[in-house]
Amino acid sequence: MVGLPDATAHGGGGLRSLTVLYDAHCPLCRAARGWLSSRPQLVPLEFVPAGSAAARLRFPSLDHDATLRDLTVIADTGEVYAGDGAWFACLWALADHRETAQRLARPHLLPLARRVVAAASAVRERVREPSPEPTDGAAGYGDRNDRPDCADDRCG
């Protein structure tokens, strides 16, 4: 696949895991997480809610507001994939869909794949649930400290 190293490479060059930052307030994203989790994986996928305290602690240099707008995947080797690259990385990690990811990343299919990802993102924006307001002051996903306000009204 374009941009992803060979996960089966020996000598330390291969990926051992991918962390997927997904929008836990989006039903579409939660369904995608469930589907990805249920599939056989060649590269293990770990799921962390985007914008959460855990995501901010593990990846302090990321633009966490951007991770709430676009699916973001971080390889254990440090590479960061966002948007369509992140979707390709997730498919590439699956035993039954690696070839599909590689095919979709080819120049003649990439424009179509990008339109599909853009359509999914548009649907996500329409079905996204509001962030719950903290009720007991306990720290955790959804607290004001986890989801700061941002300029485009898509997060916070």
Going residue by residue through the chain, which has 156 residues, state the pLDDT in tens, using 9 for 90 and above: 445 554 444 334 578 999 999 989 888 888 889 889 999 999 999 999 999 999 999 999 999 999 988 889 999 999 999 988 888 899 899 998 898 777 777 766 666 656 655 555 555 455 555 554 333 333 334 444 444 444 444 443
Who's near 128: CB < 8 A, 6+ residues apart? 23, 25, 26
Q: Write phi, then psi, for 100 (nearest 5 degrees).
A: -60, -45
> What is the reported pLDDT for 62?
95
Q: What single-letter amino acid sits at 107?
A: P
> What is the reported pLDDT for 1?
42
Judging by beta carbons within 10 Å of its beta carbon (0-12, 13-18, 19+), is residue 67 exposed, middle or buried?
A: buried
What is the torsional sign of CA 52, 33, 73, 109?
Answer: negative
CA distance 113 to 84: 8
> What is the reported pLDDT for 9?
43
128: left (phi over 0), alpha (psi -120 to 50) or beta: beta
CA distance 145 to 38: 32
> What is the reported pLDDT for 109?
62
N residues, the chain: 156
